[in-house]
Amino acid sequence: MFQPDSDIQRSSTLAAFLQDCGTETYEDLAHRANSDPDWFWGRIIDHAGIRFSQPYTVLRDMSGGPQSIKWAVGGTLNLTETCLDARIAEGLGEKIAIDWVGEDGSRRRWTYADLTAEAARVASALARRGVKPGQAVGIFMPMIPEIGAALLGIARLGAIAVPLFSGFSSPAIVSRLKDAGAVAVLTADATPRRGKPVWMEAALAEALNEVPSVHTVFSLRRFGGAVADPARDLDWAETVGTASPDFAAVPVKSDDIFLIGYTSGTTGRPKGVVHTHLGVQAKATADFLLCLDMKRDDRHLWMTDMGWVMGPLTLLSVLLSGATLVLAEGAPSMPGDPFRLLRLASEMKVTHLGVAPTLVRQFMTQDPAPLADYDLSALRIVASTGEPWTEDAWLWQRDHICRHRAVPLNISGGTELFGAILTSTVLHKIKPCGFSAQALGVGAKVLREDGSEAAPGEVGELVVTQPPLGLTPAIWGDRDRYLETYWSTYPGLWRHGDWVRCDPDGTWYILGRSDDTLNIAGKRIGPPEIEAALTETGMVVDAAAIAAPDDIKGVAVVCVCVAAPGVTPDSALVERLKERVGEVVSKPFRPREIHFVDALPKTRSMKTMRRIVRAAFLGEDPGDLSAVSNPETMDAITALGKETK
């Protein structure tokens, strides 16, 4: 159990918000938010200071049902008016908005005035090339200050941003840009990786051979990369750099699209999740400014990529709060610098840090001695998301990162929410691995398969009963897929796809994706419980539990693991680990097989791709692989599967 310091609680934005709303506890606020969404989201809009160029007439129109909700009907706005212009008007023009550090330690700092001017130049340069409001513009860039200007400049023009993971190969770029009908792309010639340039513009140029709709590319040339098409591929300095820094924000409808964020599935093309100008601001305010207590004086660092939802979410949250984004290019852990994230947090006086459970488990394999030299006393909040925690990793985070001072706040949601369904707050006592509350305004519930509400402590499907501002209103160009994916299981309710339970004390636990759920001899369990039993032995640093066909049981548990440093996998270790799962979880879930590999397939945000592990092991079609940051890991798993047949 972690008890946040009373000073942090009293001075929190959430405590002040409760007082302003006339509610005594978070639970009272959550209840009122669920029962009176118009009141709650109106308060959030006011708290964020969201600027409308034309006021709305109706905040929430439910006439078409929850799956067709419309927000702020009749209103127009542009999110950059609130995130940029309002900050300048408040006198923050000379405050550092982005404090950037490169892989080699180089630094650049942009003020709010700098960021606003560069975003206006991006909008102006795109407009000069004929890009119009409502058209899609791709972003394929490393995490440098200009990527923030790219996202905001596209929004300022009223165009639609399509952020792409900076490590995508050509086929992944093609599928997304074609689906969105993109007409332009903002890129960089290369990004350094361990001192050598990785050529991004060249990968983009290859992809654009199959995307004829793209007529303009602005490339930030850092390494002198080659130009594929001089008529299309233009130098950032000569285009954006010479454009007007005074481009006024183009008003758009409240529910007009700000970005399309693509997510991968087991089959079919990636889903283009749509987010709106109003929705992203409101959800970021409720989740980051209130529940995660992001404040104006904070220096926030969450190493991610603009191609995943955490990239835009962290940038917008910082700007909405008037804080400073500490932006780091490169990886959070590198050879010779295994705790790079924590070193940067120390050197750059970070107060508000983001981590992932998988990253912490990687940290745990290292000698912790260097941590003694890192001054993390500035940290107040350590937020986490990505995958379920194991207790040993959560405790390591508490001891070595939070150092029993900073508050460990766990959140879970997804691309479709632009934020959280479950959260933790500084006002709650926090249990290891758990979430202290549901997020505000989502009406989270746990349902049984028949649609009835689960009892406290009972495992079931996580659903949203009150669509919040920020919930995606659509999958780009595919209404039927949207309804089938999210609204068909429980009519009128959003099924998120997570397997959860809510204990009698109100603590929530994520038990894994429901489509990953293992059903062994009629008994269901989430893979993280089995994986935790393995990693908590200290002999395994990473694990994926999958279901494999079995002649006797129908389905059996198979685990693919990464051994801890210095541990030699052998038959004795395998038997010991099997017994451990039987003891900690239960005998029916004792793995039939345990195999070892050097690494598991991961997303850039460090989530284990269990469906990829299962497909590789069983020799099945893995579906879309574009989200996998290390696809080479599949070869060893495929070989294991062939050996065991």
- 637: helix, strand or coil: helix
Q: Which helix H or strand E contains 300, and what residues bound it?
A: strand 299-301
pLDDT at 605: 65
- Output the DSSP codes for 415-450: TTTTEEEEE--TTS-B-TT-BSEEPTTS-EEEE-TT
Query: What pTM does this model have?
Result: 0.87
On the question of pLDDT at 126 being above 80, the answer is yes
Backbone phi, psi, residue 377, to 5°? -65, -20
On the question of pLDDT at 528 being above 90, the answer is no
More confident residue, 348 or 225: 348
The count of other CB atoms within 10 Å of the CB of residue 454 is 17
Do residues 140 and 175 touch, judged by C-beta distance below 8 A?
no
Task: Report d(CA 519, CA 271) in Å as an integer.
Answer: 27
User: Running DSSP on this structure, what letter comes out for residue 521?
Assistant: T
Predicted confidence (pLDDT) per residue in 241-285, tens digit: 999 999 999 999 999 999 999 986 544 578 999 999 999 999 999
Predicted confidence (pLDDT) per residue in 305-314, tens digit: 999 899 999 9
Task: Report d(CA 72, CA 44) in Å as an integer.
Answer: 13
Q: Which of 130-139, 187-196, 439-448 shows the lowest per-residue confidence on average (mean pLDDT)? A: 187-196
Average pLDDT over residues 231-241: 96
Task: Report d(CA 467, CA 234) in Å as an integer.
Answer: 42
User: What is the gyration radius of the CA atoms in the chain, in angstroms?
Assistant: 24
Structure tokens at 458: 């009972």
Which domains does the chain carry? 517-644 (3.30.300.30)
Enumerate helices (H) and strands (E) in the chain, giving the number of each: 21, 32
Predicted confidence (pLDDT) per residue in 23-71, tens digit: 999 999 999 999 999 999 999 999 999 999 999 999 999 999 999 999 9
Task: Report d(CA 478, CA 492) in Å as an integer.
Answer: 19
- Output the DSSP codes for 618-633: HT------TTBS-GGG
Structure tokens at 484: 């089938």
On the question of pLDDT at 601 being above 60, the answer is yes
On the question of pLDDT at 193 being above 90, the answer is no
Predicted confidence (pLDDT) per residue in 530-561, tens digit: 898 899 899 999 999 998 888 767 788 999 99
- Token pair 């693509």 in the structure block, residue: 262
Task: Report d(CA 372, CA 101) in Å as an integer.
Answer: 22
pLDDT at 163: 97
CA dihedral 22, 27, 32, 37 (to 10 degrees): 120
CA-closest candidate to residue 389, choices 436, 434, 439: 434
User: How confident is the prediction for the chain on average, in pLDDT?
Assistant: 93
pLDDT at 266: 44
The count of other CB atoms within 10 Å of the CB of residue 556 is 20
- Token pair 């010991």 in the structure block, residue: 576
- 125: helix, strand or coil: helix
